Structure 1
């Protein structure tokens, strides 16, 4: 099992699960309370109904135990497994009411996460033969980011910054408001010195002129090449000459991904990984 990324602390996961259960359960799962005897014990299996990459298996037991510590999960397939209809990811057993109360949150998380992992794996395969690595973005569902970024990792992608706090990313509006590339970088270094922070700096450029200004100024870790054609990226990479990491961004699709990767960029960020992936159909079935 891969170690959890730094943002997936026990506290972060517990907070997410508490909030999600509060939204769904409220003052009680009255359907289960009304129809199922308190002493009833049953089991259910997580049944795969589509083809893709499984994600959220490691999250499911945390949800079940948050609902009822008496629930037990027996994992059959780990996160990252390529699955098809009929596969069983795990079996949960224990108080029947609690299985039903946890069911929807487990399915909502796993279906969404598995869809993202599946799409990430699909796009990652298009990078074969290049050095480019696939990045996610902050284009995520509010309050569900930790699961969506986790799913990108499971699918073979790489997490970009988690939020506004763990990286300085100077994008087009920052550059324009600051008065240009050099001014934005100078102000950033002054801020870091003044506050005693050590944060990586990523700088977005839109034109070859901005690339030249950035390389001349220096003082950043990665240069973003935003909304450039592959031909323009190659020109920009010639200017960079390997002195900084490079990242292609902006409007990159499944159809254009391979051509962008072939330019020689180090990273490609694709917002669609988290905002446009379909779900993977899953079901929790009593047996």
Structure 2
């Protein structure tokens, strides 16, 4: 059994406007965690970076809980654990920090149970979906790049969407936080037929826009299903998204927010500097691969 494992897992965005709960994308923004498997029982957790003074440092830690779930599924012996997590992905900002933690923990469990074997990405995706409830962020964190994913009758299906080499993104991250459960609670149970039809059209176009027709990205990232209902919770973010879109830039609320994400080719993002972004930290991103284990 390996005594030390290191995992690197990317930040992700979900939805991209119309792809609610089914489209995700991974970026070159990573958390890195090192796990020492100890011979003696015990648990030690050290966290640096994002969430260092917010996350629990006992069995409640999401990575540790995910390790336990993975070991329950795959077996493996880990009497004691020493976890060192260096987090750079902001928490509760719509950048997949929870999904990344779950995927990291499951991947570490796989490394304990199957030392030296390639990561079983479908298995990790399935368990991560069970924990998350939807496969968009988790699928992107596992596989990398852009993905279209859905679940039916307990089975997760996933399609990778190849992006152009010049595809990039810009994240606008505010200091405020948003809890996913709160953001879901404000969504209506029903929407108008007109909004449903418009959403279906945009969602159908989105995979095509991401892979072969980037000129369609602006229309494909339009949304009438969730962003407008969450606007009162993140007024500054919603306003920034609208101003970016008024400038012709494909932009959306990232996941449950409040981060705003703009995506496209270089020429489609050329106008971003003309849009004022007070109160937001700006980070330029590229698509990245999925979770890595060594």
TM-score (norm 1): 0.30
The structure that has the greater radius of gyration is 1
More strand by share: 2
More helix by share: 1
TM-score (norm 2): 0.29
